[in-house]
Amino acid sequence: MINKKTEIVLIHPGDKRVVYQDLATTYSAIQPPVWCGILASVLKAAGFNVQIIDANALNLSPIDIAATIKEITPLLVGIFVSGVHPSASTQTMPSAIKICKAIKNACDIPIVMAGLHPSALPRHTLETTGVDFVIQGDGLSSFPQLLHCLKSGSDIKNTPGLWFYDASDTIAFSFKPGPVTFFPRVAWDLLPMSRYQAHYWQCLSDISNRKPYACLYTSIGCPFHCKFCCVHALWQTHQVIYQSLDTIMTEIDCLVNKYHIRCLHIADENFLLNPNHYMPVVSQLISRQYDLNIWAYGRVDSIQKEHLELLRKAGIQWLALGIESSDTNVLRAVAKPFHQEHVVKTVQTIQEAGIHVMGNFMFGLPDDRMDTLEQTLAFAKQLKCDFVNFNCMMPFPGTIYYDQAVQDGTAPASWQAYSQHAYETQPMPTKYLPSEDILKFRDQAFIDYFSDTDYLMMIENKMGSHARQHIETMTQTRLCRKLISKVINND
């Protein structure tokens, strides 16, 4: 519904068909833009009238969005380029740029771009997208201050984290914003809640019930220094900020009782990092008996066996682990030195507690050779995770690998090429392997894993014949890859 009194419109860009190809219709999740909802709450609390346009969930074209903006005529448009997962930001930039250009062609309304990718490359974003401003960092203090300056005519230099053109048309930066000290509840009432759906693997045992679905943060930030991860570009710190128990449970109560959510994603970088934080949440969930299907991120070295039974009682049915590789030397080079024995024990312990494991693996880390890729695939099959993500290493902006890739000319040819499933996907080459060999290996590895007879029998025994049939159908989905110039079965 259009509200012409709106002072700021926050836009969540995205184009599922481009990012996921034929996976978009059936297999990809549609996740709510949680941080847009958090920013909207901050702006509402500051007295501003706010709307959110979720272009990805609503399948809106840039022209559609521009027409709506022209009719609303807000003081400011904010395009927030981030997904729930850090890697979802850069691949969304093509959609964000198209939306920006369409709005500029339709009307003269200032646009600010924010999110992880713009925070990693603020100057480049300002120079290449046609926006008027870029906000570096989380934006919690920046958005209200910028809107206040525009509304009152005061100096925008008072806005923290702001990149802009000064009076001489030179790019300028205001000052670094302070650290995040709080983050409010999401403005769920501004989002199209009926549009969101869970990942299909989260619902393999009941594939028809992927909606309604929501995500929320109980903490933000990550203390670790994995070299391939770009998340710190957004948070601007390695500190973890925890939400209060009352706020967390009030949010979950609202999602369950008002929006009838059953499928939930706790989007923290590592929900199981601090037992003093997550166990009170677990206790409250158990007492409420909501019968939820929750998934969350854990880390191999942060899983505590004595808590797993209670996690399962609380509704946590899936834990996602960043396993990445089977080779300790490959992992040590990217500052994530797990050992095979520890990984095996952790996965088995989680599954014995009745919790499914989503194993995340990464092919093409800097020291990977073909034999280490093959060993990692064999290790993944040995682990028998209930589901896996096989990703290729990407030199994401915000990591040391991006700067190296730009310098040596191996950076992906477009922002879309940073997507794992797109036609243009272009992994980072290793010291020993070209990009096309890594992508070929990754695509075939997916087929090998999900066609494995022992794996399919395990899924059938755990989740039923319908789950097995769904996976068998999934492996028939075909993606086109520009880099390897042929169609391959894929995820």
Helical residues (DSSP H) of 55-121, grouped into ranges: 55-58, 62-72, 93-106, 116-120
Pairwise CA distance, residues 222 & 239, whole Å: 6
pLDDT the model gives residue 180: 84
Span 102-116, mean pLDDT? 97
Based on the fold, state whether residues 205 and 72 are members of the same structural domain: no
User: Residue 111 pLDDT more than 90?
Assistant: yes
Query: What would the pLDDT profile of 24-78 be if each residue is shown by its tens digit?
Result: 556 789 999 999 999 999 999 999 999 999 999 999 999 999 999 999 999 999 9
Query: What would the pLDDT profile of 160-179 be if each residue is shown by its tens digit?
Result: 999 999 999 999 999 999 88
Q: Could you tell me which residues come within 8 angstroms of residue 461 by beta carbon, excluding any fewer than 6 positions away?
A: none
Pairwise CA distance, residues 287 & 266, whole Å: 18
Span 387-411, mean pLDDT? 95
pLDDT level of residue 87 (50, 70, 90 thresholds) = confident
pLDDT the model gives residue 169: 95
Based on the fold, state whether residues 145 and 110 are members of the same structural domain: yes
DSSP 404-424: HHHHHT-S-SSGGGGSSSSTT
Last residue of a domain, one of 119, 139, 173: 173
Based on the fold, state whether residues 391 and 444 are members of the same structural domain: yes
Closest CA to 239 of 227, 229, 224: 224
Span 402-411, mean pLDDT? 94
187 found inside a domain: no
Based on the fold, state whether residues 355 and 444 are members of the same structural domain: yes
Span 358-378, mean pLDDT? 98
Full residue range of the structural domain in which residue 371 is found: 197-489
* Mean pLDDT (the chain, rounded): 93
Based on the fold, state whether residues 163 and 48 are members of the same structural domain: yes
User: Residue 18 pLDDT more than 60?
Assistant: no
Based on the fold, state whether residues 167 and 259 are members of the same structural domain: no
Give the global pTM. 0.94
Based on the fold, state whether residues 28 and 81 are members of the same structural domain: yes
Pairwise CA distance, residues 200 & 197, whole Å: 9
Based on the fold, state whether residues 242 and 359 are members of the same structural domain: yes
Pairwise CA distance, residues 399 & 402, whole Å: 6
User: Residue 272 pLDDT more than 70?
Assistant: yes
Query: What would the pLDDT profile of 427-472 be if each residue is shown by its tens digit?
Result: 999 999 999 999 999 999 999 999 999 999 999 999 999 999 999 9
C-alpha dist (Å) from residue 189 to 5, 38, 213, 251, 328: 17, 12, 14, 12, 46
Pairwise CA distance, residues 418 & 409, whole Å: 15
Question: Percent of the chain beyond pLDDT 70?
Answer: 96
Beta bridge partners of 479: 488
Cβ 149 vs Cβ 135: under 8 Å:
no
Based on the fold, state whether residues 135 and 221 are members of the same structural domain: no
Based on the fold, state whether residues 315 and 430 are members of the same structural domain: yes
Based on the fold, state whether residues 203 and 137 are members of the same structural domain: no
Strands 293-298 and 478-481: unpaired
Q: Could you tell me which residues come within 8 angstroms of residue 299 by beta carbon, excluding any fewer than 6 positions away?
A: 224, 270, 272, 273, 321, 322
323 found inside a domain: yes
214 found inside a domain: yes
| DSSP 3-state of 140 | coil
User: Residue 296 pLDDT more than 70?
Assistant: yes
Give 228's DSSP letter: T
Dig out the tokens for 379 from the structure: 């290790």
How many domains does the structure of the chain reveal?
2
Question: Domain with 73 in it: what CATH number?
Answer: 3.40.50.280
